[in-house]
Amino acid sequence: MQSSLRQRLTYWLLGPLLLLVAAGTFVSYRIALNAANKAYDAALLDPVLAIASHLHGSGKDIELDLPPIAIEALRIDTEDRVYYAVLGAGGEHLIAGTAKLPAPPDALRPGEHAFYDAKLEGERVRVAARAVEVENGGTAIVEVAETLIKRDKLVLELLFASAVPQILIAFAAVVLLWLGIGQGLRPLARLRGEIAARSPRDLRAVPEQDKPEEVRSLVGALNQLLSRLNAAIASQQRFIANAAHQLRTPLAGLKTHAELARREPSTAELRSLLDMIAGETQRTSHLVNQLLTLARAEPGEALGHQPVNLHEIVGRDVRDWVQRALGKNIDLGFELEDAWTLGEPLLLRELVANLLDNALAYTQAGGRVTVRTGVRSGESMLEVEDNGPGIPEAEREKVFERFYRVPATGGEGCGLGLSIVSEIAGRHNARVDLASPQGGPGTLIRVVFPRLAAQAAQPARPVSTRAVPTSR
Ligand SMILES: Nc1ncnc2c1ncn2[C@@H]1O[C@H](COP(=O)(O)OP(=O)(O)OP(=O)(O)O)[C@@H](O)[C@H]1O
Ligand SMILES: [Mg+2]
C-alpha cells in the first residue's frame, strides 16, 4: 500500500465511497418502503370499513349481515391469505371470523383504527383494526389481517431497485478515479524520467515552471538541495586546490634544499640548508596538522558531546602557553572561572590552541594577552584578548575563510586557524565574535557557548594569574 500513490489514493477514496453507496441505498430503500407500506395499509383498511358498515345492533347483541359470498369476495387476494374477525363486548366475544387474530396493542376508542405487525399460527401478518360504535349494540372491533408475501416481495424489489443503480455508479466512479489518478500523477512520472536521465555530474536546477503546483514545491526543495550540493562540491574543490598549492611550496623547497645539501661540501653551508629543511618540514607538518584538525571539525560524524568545563580545557595547557609567551616576552594572563557546556574536549582544546596561537604569534614582544572563561549573561564564554596589531574592520569576515591571511601578515601560518575555530564553534552551537578590546588596539575574540547548568561534581577553583615575563 505504501508503494503506489495511485493505490493509496484509490484505497482512501474507495472506503468512503462504499460507505456513501451503502448509506444512499439504505435511505432510498427506507423512503420507498415507507411509501409502499402506507399504500398497502390503506388498502387493508378497505375491507375493515366494508365489514364495519354491515354491523347491526339488536339490543343486546351485534350481528354481521354480510352473505358468506360477499365476505369471501373481501378476502380475495392474488398472493396473500386474508383473515378477519369481528369482536363484540370490548373484544371479548367473537361475533364472526377467525378466533385467533391478535388484538391491537393499544385499546382503540370508537372510530379509531390502527395497523400493527403480529403473528398468526406462526406466520407474520399485518393487521388493520378499527373500533366501531354499533347502534343498539355497543362497541365492536373489526380486524383484517393479511400475510406478508407481497409486501416481502416488494421489499426485495425496492432493495434491488435502489441498490443496483448506486452500485453501478460507484463502480463507474472507481474506474474513473483509477484512470483520473493515473492522469493526475503523470507529471510525477515525467519528473522521475527527467531526473533519471541526468548524468551524475549534472547538478543544474530542475525547471519548475512547467510543473503542476503540488510538484513544484517538491522540485523547489530538490533544487535547493542541488544548489547546496553544488556549493559544497565547489568549496570542496577549492579547498583541495588550495591545500595542494599550500603543500606544494614547502615540499618543493624541501626537495631543492635536500638536493643542494647532498652536494654541499662545506659544513657551514650545509648547516644553513639543513635549517631551511627543518623550517620547511615544520611548516609542512603544521599545515598537515591544521588540515587534519579541520577535517575532524567538519560536520560529519556525530559528536559524543559530554559536559565540559571551559576552565579545565584551558587549564590543561597553561604551562605550554606560558612557556611560549615567556619565550616571546609576552605578558600572558589567565582569568578562569567555571563555564560549563556540552562538548568534545579534544576539539575545544584545538579551538583554544588556535586562538592563543594567533594571539601569541601576532602580538609584538612586550605585548599582553589574556585568556578568560566564565559565564556572562547566562552563557558560557571563552575569550582571548591581546593588544597586538588587531585585525582591520574590513578583514574581520575574511579571516574566517580557509587559507585566508591578512595581507602582509608575518609568521608562518597557513590561514586555517580561524576557520578551524569557527568550524568547531559551529559544531558546539557556539558563536564567535571578533572585536577590538576596550580602549586600545588589539584583538578580542569571544566564543559564546550554550550554557550547561553548573555540574556539582568537582568545581574548579577560579584562577587569576599572570606570567609576567622578566624583561631581558
Ligand atoms: N590575534 C590576532 N591579531 C592580529 N591578527 C590576527 C590575529 N588572529 C588572526 N589574525 C589574522 O587573521 C589571519 C587568519 O588567522 P588564522 O589563524 O586563520 O590563520 P593563520 O594564523 O595565518 O594560520 P594558521 O593558524 O592556520 O597557522 C591571520 O593570518 C592574521 O592575519
Ligand atoms: Mg592562526
Ligand minimally distant from the alpha carbon of residue 385 = 1
Q: Which of 239, 321, 418, 421 to mutate to test the pocket of ligand 1 (most atoms within 8 A of CB)?
A: 418
Ligand 2 (ion): which residues have CB within 5 A?
358, 413, 417
CA of 409 to the centre of ligand 2 (A): 11
Please tell me the distance from the alpha carbon of residue 332 to that of residue 368, in angstroms, as a whole number: 6
Ligand minimally distant from the alpha carbon of residue 413 = 1
**pLDDT confidence bin for 162, thresholds 50/70/90:** confident
Q: Please name the amino acid found at residue 444.
A: L
Residue 458 has pLDDT above 80, yes or no: no
CA of 410 to the centre of ligand 1 (A): 10
- List the residue whose alpha carbon is closest to atom 11 of ligand 1: 406
**Helices 318-327, 345-362: crossing angle, 10 deg rounding:** 10
Listing DSSP states for 408-463 in one string gives: T--SS--S-HHHHHHHHHHHTT-EEEEEPPTTSSSEEEEEEEPP-PPPSS-PPPPE
H helices within 328-402, ranges in order? 345-362
Cβ < 6 Å from ligand 1: which residues? 290, 354, 358-359, 362, 386, 388-391, 399, 405-406, 409, 413-419, 443
Full-model pTM: 0.62
Task: Classify the C-alpha dihedral 344-346-351-356 as positive or negative.
Answer: positive
Asked if residues 396 and 323 have their Cβ atoms less than 8 Å apart, the reply is: no
pLDDT given for residue 286 in this prediction: 92
**pLDDT confidence bin for 90, thresholds 50/70/90:** low
**pLDDT confidence bin for 229, thresholds 50/70/90:** very high
Instruction: Return the DSSP state at 137.
Output: T
Burial of 306 (0-12, 13-18, 19+ CB in 10 A): exposed
Report the chain's mean pLDDT, rounded to a whole number: 88
Strands 331-336 and 368-376: parallel
Q: Which of 405, 412, 414 to mutate to test the pocket of ligand 1 (most atoms within 8 A of CB)?
A: 405
Residue 211 has pLDDT above 90, yes or no: no
pLDDT given for residue 1 in this prediction: 41
Residue 326 has pLDDT above 90, yes or no: yes
Residue 339 has pLDDT above 90, yes or no: yes
Q: Look at 298 and 365; give whichever has higher pLDDT.
A: 365
Residue showing cell 372491533:
141
- % of the chain residues with pLDDT over 90: 49
**Residue 452, phi then psi, degrees to nearest 5:** -105, 130
Ligand minimally distant from the alpha carbon of residue 412 = 1
pLDDT given for residue 107 in this prediction: 84
pLDDT tens-digit readout, 366-390:
999 999 999 999 999 999 999 999 9
**Helices 186-196, 213-263: crossing angle, 10 deg rounding:** 10
Ligand minimally distant from the alpha carbon of residue 367 = 1
Q: In the β-sheet with 82-88, what is the strand arrangement from edge to edge?
A: 93-97, 82-88, 138-147, 123-134, 113-120
pLDDT tens-digit readout, 16-64:
888 998 998 889 888 888 888 898 999 999 999 999 899 888 777 888 8
H helices within 76-148, ranges in order? none
CA of 418 to the centre of ligand 1 (A): 7
C-alpha cell at position 154: 416488494
Kindly state the helix (H) or strand (E) to which residue 229 belongs, with its residue range.
helix 213-263
Residue 471 has pLDDT above 70, yes or no: no
Please tell me the distance from the alpha carbon of residue 247 to that of residue 255, in angstroms, as a whole number: 12
Please tell me the distance from the alpha carbon of residue 282 to that of residue 254, in angstroms, as a whole number: 11
Which residue, 333, 340, 247, is CA-closest to 289? 247
pLDDT given for residue 91 in this prediction: 67
pLDDT given for residue 342 in this prediction: 92
Listing DSSP states for 60-85 in one string gives: S-EEE---HHHHHHHH--SSS-EEEE
Ligand 1 atom closest to the Cα of residue 400 is 18
Kindly state the helix (H) or strand (E) to which residue 272 belongs, with its residue range.
helix 267-297
Count of helix runs (H) and strand runs (E) in the chain: 10, 15
C-alpha cell at position 378: 547566562
Ligand 1 atom closest to the Cα of residue 411 is 22
C-alpha cell at position 269: 653551508
Bridge partners of 119, per DSSP, are: 124
Kindly state the helix (H) or strand (E) to which residue 141 belongs, with its residue range.
strand 138-147
pLDDT tens-digit readout, 269-313:
999 999 999 999 999 999 999 999 988 888 776 677 899 999 999
